[in-house]
Structure 1
Amino acid sequence: MPYIDLTQPFNQSISLYPGSKPPVIKSTHRVATDGCAVKHFSFNSHQGTHIDAVAHMKEGGKTLDELPIEYFLGKAITIDISEYATRLVPKTAFDQHIENLQLADFALLYTSWGKKWGTLNYADDFPILSPEAMHFLCQQNIKAIGLDCFSPDPVTSIDFENHHIAFSYEVLFVENLCNLELLPTDQLINFQCLPMKIEDADGAPVRAMGHW
């Protein structure tokens, strides 16, 4: 049974959403001088591989700590949308996957942008779902949509239409995944994306994994 780590490495050189500050990772104690090693971390709740709560963009929306732990586990279908770079992904891109989508808890969308992590090109021209396609996905009763890119919306967006569509269905996003190309696209797999248990969290880092 293969286990695939779908989590980008986290360090001070991660890809940054435009306008955000890099994380700070600082050693405060060292074994040689203090008898133990301790690091201080400072970063925002939407950096690295992470999950968005509805509260990220909806006043009064649920935070991550309000969801049961089993919410972050389930069956996933992986769908390749990499051919749609620079253009909107139509609803028809998902028609052949309808049977598995109706059985899935998560839809993992492979854009191929995970391979660009850490480069300046990571923010540019990744595939974006059309509003019709986003509505269609969310209507399949999935818990979340996973992406190997920054966002379901362009980084230039000011209205974040796809975020708002999904959140209206209580569908979350797992962003900045990697290694989706290693997952089968013809079967459901087991998927987990467990977030840190932070009170009132609008988002949080996750360790994401797929296995079958």
Structure 2
Amino acid sequence: MMIDLTHTLTTSAEAPMSIWPGHPTLEMKKVAAIPEQNANVTLISLGSHTGTHIDAPNHFIADGLTVDKYDLTKLVGRALVIDVRGKKEREIITWEDMQKWEGEMHEGVIVLICTGWSQYWGKENYEDHPFMDLDAAKKLMETGVRVIGCDTLSPDSICSPECQVHREILGAGGMIAENLRGIEQVLTLKDPIVSLLPLKLDSCDGSPIRAIAWSAGDILG
């Protein structure tokens, strides 16, 4: 079984998308259409951090790696779900909340922070998500983990202009996938594998992704 961890990119008013304040919104425009033309073609415009996406180190680190330079083998790997769905609006996720999974954290493991907040995607309170503190980010990096994902706008508080968690993880050469959906479904998989591959965008600080997860024993295709 394959699980889609990706929000739909849409301009529909009936399915509004959440977006970081000030970032570009999604635009989709038909530039060719059947039957007037012999094919359908759509012009797509969006920010590098729109929808379900991944942050490269260069997002906050001036000389950090961009998405086209990052080692793709680090973005497909064993998923470890940190289940903190009991957290409330703007509640801090501490290392104490994550510590019981420490024995499973090591280089190559992709940590997915499950707050359950993806249920509020497109709603006003999506911005009020729980968030990690700096100590948790530091200790997570000490385990050797370099790639994390979250079902929120950010692992930082939206009220924190310093974005210290971003700077800690990206500064360690890590990557951060944001706006994942349905991480809790990964808990149903045996030996889950997750893929967070970006587009090959030249010298870009981030990229939309199609995030998926499956059991290691499954044969894709």
On whether the aligned pair clears a TM of 0.5, the verdict is yes
Partner of 1:120: 124
Displacement, 1:83?
A: 1.8
Bigger Cα displacement from structure 2, 154-163 vs 37-46? 154-163
Alignment of 1:38-117 (within 5 A): 38-85=41-88, 86-102=90-106, 104-117=108-121
User: Aligned partners of 1:99 and 1:187: how far apart in 2?
Assistant: 18
Q: TM-score, normalised by structure 1?
A: 0.93
Q: Give the letter for the 2:214 counterpart.
A: H
Partner of 2:176: 173
**2:133–2:156 contact (8 Å) kept in structure 1:** no
Q: Give the letter for the 1:38 counterpart.
A: V
1:207 pairs, out of 193, 206, 210, with 210
Aligned alpha-carbon RMSD (Å): 1.6
Partner of 2:165: 162
Relative distance call for 1:185 and 1:166 in structure 2 (3 A) is farther
**1:149–1:177 contact (8 Å) kept in structure 2:** yes
Displacement, 1:20?
A: 2.4
User: Aligned partners of 2:48 and 2:189: how far apart in 1?
Assistant: 33
**1:73–1:193 contact (8 Å) kept in structure 2:** yes
Size of the aligned set, in residue pairs, is 210
Displacement, 1:188?
A: 4.2
Displacement, 1:168?
A: 2.2
Partner of 2:19: 16
Displacement, 1:199?
A: 0.4
Displacement, 1:78?
A: 0.5
* 3-state DSSP of counterpart to 1:150: coil
Q: Give the letter for the 2:204 counterpart.
A: A
Q: Give the letter for the 2:106 counterpart.
A: Q
Q: TM-score, normalised by structure 2?
A: 0.90
User: Which runs of 5 or more structure 1 residues have no equivalent in the other structure?
Assistant: none
Bigger share in helix? 1
Q: Give the letter for the 1:189 counterpart.
A: P
**2:53–2:179 contact (8 Å) kept in structure 1:** yes
* 3-state DSSP of counterpart to 2:28: strand
User: Which runs of 5 or more structure 2 residues have no equivalent in the other structure?
Assistant: 216-221
Q: Give the letter for the 1:136 counterpart.
A: K
Moved over 3 A (4+): 185-188
Relative distance call for 1:197 and 1:160 in structure 2 (3 A) is same
Displacement, 1:181?
A: 1.2
* 3-state DSSP of counterpart to 2:210: strand
Displacement, 1:151?
A: 0.4
Displacement, 1:130?
A: 1.7
**1:77–1:187 contact (8 Å) kept in structure 2:** no
